């Protein structure tokens, strides 16, 4: 979708026009002008529909005589002073959701200056633009017989605002960020017969055109490095495992001693291995590579907007399948760190992938910090549902920065505890550590496991099990892959890591 900004009054002809109302049905200046042109049609419709202008309310009417547009959409803002930055993203998304398949090809958003607004007007308008585009995403490449009436029609939107110049500049960067979000959504949406370790690595290699430096390690290279924990997960699959390294060197020469690093779990399909998952719902396990998709999308976004930072992205790509070659419950593997791991459950595989990927990252690149992302545990979904991603960290500084970035973007996070007392659940007399901790605190014991493979590098682990995929959709994403974490970490990098 093409988004443009203007200070001049755009033509409404052949478009849907979007105006706003505050609490107690108080129309914006543009809405009041349209109401006057239509002989009071908007206010009559508001009265009939009991539309009070509350936040989230939407009223739609075919444009009456006197208004040179196809239809009018009135959006409720509620009390302007209570609106946060993310509310404007949702406003943009709700506009697209309402019009995407309506038959309208263009939308005109008339946003007037509002007293009491606490969000900078340019930020607010850029976020409306971002929401418009974010909600336009559909993964429909396999819908070969979809009726034309259900296909998207909306292709462009014009936003009229007094802050058009700055909003245009802010949106230009957001547009590149959204490219990264869509990249992540595409990867998560693809079925496992299309995205598997080798093909996934090939997709990552294509990002070299964005300016990323790409390196792919095959099984021979990983075996030489001693990545036996990662390799053990893929033993049962006919698909070979891969490790992909992405580098973005955006900092001025000599201005950043250590890179920042992001690591993702990329289990392209997770049957559970020998510890086979139930058949019901197993098709969802194509998105068990959601953490890696976030890292890939983030790296694309950083390169796209020419972020002034040096960043590393590493993703371990494996397929967890049962076969005569698969690892067994009770096996002991030696990780790249030299630590031995007793595998009690082959469905607790993501932590094995991350164990070697994290160790490799800190050992080779000596980063300032590492943040890993993974659809790691069902226990996290039990704890936080699909509203927050839980995160664990050894750094209070990282904790504050991640939490604040989540609040600013709507990719919400909640800090969970790390404590040595949980280690007793993953200690074992057979090896240095076992890969599962028992009945309780499953997300915490998984994090405690990972902590053993980060050495002394500041580190955070974000468990996005409940966030990578949505069964219901949201204001900015239809049902399916969400691209969660790309906007979160881009904001984190922008606010805390980039050169001024």
Say whether 169 is catalytic. no
Q: What is the pLDDT of residues 376-390, one digit of tens each?
A: 999 999 999 999 999
In a domain, 311, yes or no: yes
- Tallying the residues shown for the chain, one arrives at 500
Q: What DSSP designation does 142 have? A: T
Q: What is the pLDDT of residues 175-216, one digit of tens each?
A: 999 999 999 999 999 999 999 999 999 999 999 999 999 999
Q: What DSSP designation does 152 have? A: -
**pLDDT interval class at 64 (50, 70, 90):** confident
C-alpha distances (whole Å) from 388 to each of 237, 414, 431, 437, 471 are: 33, 6, 34, 23, 15
Catalytic residue among 36, 44, 277, 308: 277
**pLDDT interval class at 445 (50, 70, 90):** very high
Q: How far apart are CA 172 and CA 125, in angstroms?
A: 12
Residue 243: which of 353, 130, 341, 151 has the closest Cα?
Answer: 353
| Mean pLDDT to the nearest integer, 306-314 | 98
Same domain assignment for residues 242 and 117:
no
Mean pLDDT is lowest, of 40-44, 60-64, 75-79, 172-176, for 60-64
Same domain assignment for residues 285 and 211:
yes
186-191: long-range contacts, CB 8 A cutoff, minimum separation 24: 186/139, 186/481, 187/289, 187/292, 187/293, 187/296, 187/297, 187/481, 188/286, 188/287, 188/289, 188/290, 188/293, 188/468, 188/469, 188/480, 188/481, 188/483, 189/139, 189/480, 189/481, 190/286, 191/286
Place of tokens 């090809």: 105
Q: What is the pLDDT of residues 230-254, one digit of tens each?
A: 999 999 999 999 999 999 999 998 8
Q: What is the CATH number of the domain that holds 101?
A: 3.40.220.10
Q: Quick check: pTM over 0.95? A: yes
In a domain, 171, yes or no: no
Residue 114: which of 148, 56, 161 has the closest Cα?
Answer: 161
For residue 411, pLDDT beyond 80: yes
**Burial zone of 209 (CB within 10 Å; 0-12 exposed, 13-18 middle, 19+ buried):** exposed
Per-residue model confidence (pLDDT) at position 499: 86
Point out which residues pair with 468 in neighbouring strands: none
| Mean pLDDT to the nearest integer, 294-320 | 98
Same domain assignment for residues 112 and 198:
no
Same domain assignment for residues 149 and 188:
no
Q: What percentage of the chain reaches a pLDDT higher than 90?
A: 97
Residue 306: which of 212, 385, 440, 381 has the closest Cα?
Answer: 212
Q: How far apart are CA 393 and CA 86, in angstroms?
A: 25
In a domain, 168, yes or no: no
Q: How far apart are CA 176 and CA 170, in angstroms?
A: 11
Per-residue model confidence (pLDDT) at position 65: 86
Same domain assignment for residues 241 and 293:
yes
Point out which residues pair with 390 in neighbouring strands: 414, 463
Strands (E), 224-355: 242-249, 260-270, 310-320, 331-334, 340-343
Same domain assignment for residues 88 and 146:
yes
The two structure tokens encoding residue 351: 């932590």
Contact 492, 401 (CB under 8 A): yes
Catalytic residue among 133, 168, 351, 451: 351
Same domain assignment for residues 254 and 396:
yes
Same domain assignment for residues 145 and 285:
no
Q: Which of 113, 139, 163 is the last residue of a domain?
A: 163
Q: How far apart are CA 330 and CA 430, in angstroms?
A: 9
In a domain, 139, yes or no: yes
Place of tokens 């800090």: 415
The two structure tokens encoding residue 102: 């309506």
For residue 457, pLDDT beyond 80: yes
In a domain, 403, yes or no: yes
CA atoms within 13 A on the CB side of 92: 27
**pLDDT interval class at 170 (50, 70, 90):** very high
**pLDDT interval class at 310 (50, 70, 90):** very high
| Mean pLDDT to the nearest integer, 54-82 | 94
Q: What is the CATH number of the domain that holds 478?
A: 3.40.630.10
Q: How many CB atoms lie within 10 A of CB 218?
A: 14
Point out which residues pair with 373 in neighbouring strands: 264, 462
The two structure tokens encoding residue 148: 């034309």
**pLDDT interval class at 256 (50, 70, 90):** confident
Q: How far apart are CA 463 and CA 389, in angstroms?
A: 6
For residue 500, pLDDT beyond 80: no
| Mean pLDDT to the nearest integer, 159-164 | 97
Range of the domain at 62: 2-163
Structural domains counted in the chain:
2
Point out which residues pair with 60 in neighbouring strands: 73
For residue 66, pLDDT beyond 90: no
| Mean pLDDT to the nearest integer, 118-133 | 97
Same domain assignment for residues 236 and 135:
no
Say whether 306 is catalytic. no
Same domain assignment for residues 246 and 304:
yes
């Amino acid at each position: 979708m093409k988004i443009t900004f203007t200070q001049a009054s755009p033509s409404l002809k052949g478009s849907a026009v979007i105006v706003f109302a505050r609490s107690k049905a108080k129309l914006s200046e543009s809405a009041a002008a349209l109401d006057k042109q239509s002989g009071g049609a908007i206010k009559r419709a508001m009265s009939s529909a009991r539309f009070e202008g509350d936040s989230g309310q939407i009223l739609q009417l075919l444009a009456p005589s006197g208004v040179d547009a196809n239809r009018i959409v009135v959006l409720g803002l509620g009390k302007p002073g209570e609106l946060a930055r993310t509310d404007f993203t949702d406003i943009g998304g709700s506009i697209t959701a309402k019009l995407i398949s309506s038959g309208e090809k263009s939308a005109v958003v008339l946003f007037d200056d509002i007293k009491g607004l606490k969000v900078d007007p340019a930020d607010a308008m850029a976020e409306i633009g971002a929401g418009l585009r974010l909600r336009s995403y559909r993964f429909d490449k396999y819908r070969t017989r979809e009726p034309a009436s259900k296909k998207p029609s909306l292709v462009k939107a014009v936003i009229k605002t007094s802050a058009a110049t700055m909003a245009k500049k802010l949106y230009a960067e957001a547009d590149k960020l959204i490219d990264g979000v869509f990249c992540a959504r595409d990867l998560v949406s693809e079925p496992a017969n299309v995205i598997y370790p080798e093909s996934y690595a090939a997709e990552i290699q294509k990002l070299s055109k964005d300016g990323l430096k790409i390196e792919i390690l095959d099984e021979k290279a990983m075996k030489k490095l001693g990545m036996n924990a990662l390799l053990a997960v893929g033993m049962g699959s006919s698909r070979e495992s891969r490790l992909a390294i992405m580098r973005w060197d955006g900092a001025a020469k000599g201005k950043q001693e250590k890179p920042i690093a992001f690591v993702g779990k990329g289990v392209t399909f997770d049957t559970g291995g020998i510890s086979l998952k139930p058949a019901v719902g197993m098709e969802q396990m194509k998105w068990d590579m959601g953490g890696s998709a976030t890292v890939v999308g983030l790296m694309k976004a950083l390169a796209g907007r020419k972020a002034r930072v040096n960043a590393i992205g590493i993703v371990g790509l494996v397929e967890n399948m049962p076969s005569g070659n698969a690892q067994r419950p009770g096996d002991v593997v030696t990780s790249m760190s030299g630590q031995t791991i007793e595998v009690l459950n082959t469905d607790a595989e993501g932590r094995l992938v991350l164990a070697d990927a994290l160790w490799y990252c800190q050992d080779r690149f000596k980063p300032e910090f590492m943040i890993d992302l993974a659809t790691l545990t069902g226990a996290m979904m039990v704890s936080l549902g699909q509203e927050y991603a839980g995160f664990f960290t050894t750094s209070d500084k990282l904790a504050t920065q991640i939490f604040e970035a989540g609040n600013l973007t709507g990719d919400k996070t909640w800090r969970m505890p790390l404590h040595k007392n949980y280690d007793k659940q993953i200690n074992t007399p057979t090896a240095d550590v076992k890969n599962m901790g028992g009945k309780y605190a499953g997300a915490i014991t998984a994090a405690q496991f990972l902590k053993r493979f980060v050495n002394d590098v500041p580190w955070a682990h974000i468990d996005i099990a409940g966030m990578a995929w949505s069964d219901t959709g949201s204001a900015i994403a239809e049902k399916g892959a969400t691209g969660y974490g790309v906007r979160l970490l881009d904001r984190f990098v922008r606010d805390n890591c980039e050169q001024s």
